[in-house]
A and B are shown apart, each in its own frame.
Chain A
């Protein structure tokens, strides 16, 4: 059985096409059953995220074209529209691809952590649908361990790589838990709205909005789920807030050092995190020198993002090394599987000869006491074991595919092994997944 991966991703297709081939839309189970109905392979996992739509298949025959057709027909798109955007991986390349995906190396934002969870979910769904088997089980559990290793052994997933995420991770580093915090947003523009939405997603306790015109603040407050305050309540709101996001279009600083200092006086040393994303700036730079005031402006946040991106770049090599490592290991496992049916057939052949010889000699052995017969059985079994020990070890160590085929052919001819035994090993129970 061979591995095959067919799909499209953000690397090969534009977003409109990716959206139209999303397997998750109609439910993965439906897609799995539609796929199973075609009988293309024995094992399948469908991975569908907003950046990729991929089929992982374990099949005896090469089904790349059939998979492509399934994709176009299932989603009702012409084959011609999809075909140029499809990628196809075979054999060890499938492992290489999936491991890089699971590690976040193939993601749009390299190192983003969500993808590992999405891969796990895709596998769990396929597994629940009983679409997986020994090959895909091993493939995906290896992928999970690659993802885990990359996360714990490299700094690839570390550090915020967007300005709003950088601000939120800073807030978490100052306050720990954000759910008890009051957030004050100054201004009602697009930036203010975006930040408000981000913070609301963090479930802060209260989101207050202050704008020069109360009506715009009210309109925004309704959209992001906060409360609007009139401009003259600014100082009071400043005293109560833990995080202030300044995003007004004012030409001069709204928050002067004196104003912040006055607010701090009433706060009894409670830390205040001020994020100034306005251009020109809303907060006097000097205010950041006040004890317990942490002031970051948009440039500071951008610098952090740049640093994090650069650091991720440096970690890429280590992550790729881990992937390479695991691909080699997986490849060796796959190769050793190829020879297993031959090994099993060989052993069965030897055992058959031994038992038939013992049966042939049965009349002569009948007079022996039971202990002697047991001893005889044991000795012949040991001879067979000893004869087979080295060849078995040697065969299992072969990792060159052509050599495996050559060995298998030679053994089948030399020992007249039954060809239908070849599938014997493949019907083994699926491995337990931990």
Chain B
């Protein structure tokens, strides 16, 4: 299967979701969902084939991690869409999927797995982090739509988004839930990552030596954890809901994306597998 197929399907789904958002024709919506589902299926096959070829899950390197992230986000979104019958967010999510799929499509080769990464802790760490990031991505998209709708209602100009998005309170609750789920996985990922880093600290590999809080990748990840922990507890304790929570969620995901792409590719010395 060609490596660009999931990308093409995600991009087609993004266009279909956009058309559906603007025109709200039910059959376009169903087409969009079908295209997204087809993209995920193609992606699943691709990851499966890579796993069989390499003999291990393709999680080594930033490109592979992005691919896995896209796959998890697609699945998570599809689950939300099918359970809530709400397609308004599909436009944003599938655009993000298509955008991020460009990198794996350009570089479809599975990177060799260094002996350092054979530990099951590594797999748990990476998958937890990626699932957390996927949840945060959904939270961010929900938050963007929240802010758009909030603005329309506040300005008393009920237009485009008013007739297309679910209620503010519903979006707020979705944001809170996505952050809670993401925070749980992020915490798990950070803790497991920490344990694993301690285990391999004696390894002569320079990357294992670089596993410290001073490394940009680890530092920004911890910063994300701080931001989302604040978001979680400020919501519970201080009533940080609504627009403030939405902004916080958006800022958190900007950090996640920064950490994922530029930091992951260029700055880190510990996570450059």
Contact = CB atoms under 8 A, between A and B. Distances in A.
Interface of A: 152-153, 158-159, 170, 172-177, 267-271, 288, 291-292, 294, 296, 300, 303-304, 307
A306 B208 CA distance: 67
Interface stretch (B128-136, B165-173, B253-261): B165-173
Given A152-B26, A294-B154, A300-B156, A173 B242 contact: no
Nearest to A303: B156
B137 to A, nearest CB: 23
Interface in B127-163: 149, 153-154, 156, 158, 162-163
A152 B25 contact: yes
Nearest to A267: B239
B153 A292 contact: no
A108 B26 CA distance: 28
Contact of B243 (A175, A267, A291, A300): A291
A307 B154 CA distance: 17
B153 A294 contact: yes
19 contacts: A152-B25, A173-B162, A174-B153, A175-B169, A177-B167, A267-B239, A268-B238, A269-B239, A269-B242, A270-B241, A271-B168, A271-B242, A288-B154, A292-B243, A294-B153, A294-B154, A300-B156, A303-B156, A307-B158
Interface of B: 24-26, 149, 153-154, 156, 158, 162-163, 166-170, 238-244
A412 B244 CA distance: 82
A303 B156 CA distance: 9
A176 B156 contact: no
Residue among A170, A176, A177, A294 facing the most chain B CB atoms (10 A cut-off): A176
A269 B240 contact: yes
A296 B156 contact: yes
B12 to A, nearest CB: 23
Nearest to B161: A173
B167 to A, nearest CB: 3
B239 A270 contact: yes
Which 3 A-B pairs give the minimum distances between C-beta atoms? Answer: A268-B239, A176-B167, A269-B239
A304 B159 CA distance: 10
A267 B241 CA distance: 11
A158 B159 CA distance: 11
Given A175-B167, A304-B158, 12 more contacts: A152-B24, A153-B25, A170-B158, A174-B153, A174-B169, A175-B169, A176-B166, A176-B168, A176-B170, A268-B239, A271-B168, A291-B242
Contacts of B166: 176
A177 B170 CA distance: 9
Contacts of A270: 239, 241
Contacts of A300: 156
Contacts of B156: 296, 300, 303-304
Given A152-B25, A173-B167, A176-B166, A269 B154 contact: no
A123 B9 CA distance: 44
A294 B168 CA distance: 12
Contacts of B24: 152
A153 B28 CA distance: 12
A271 to B, nearest CB: 7
Contacts of B25: 152-153
Contact of A172 (B154, B167, B241): B167
B173 to A, nearest CB: 8
Nearest to A294: B153
Contact of A174 (B26, B167, B243): B167
Contacts of B26: 152
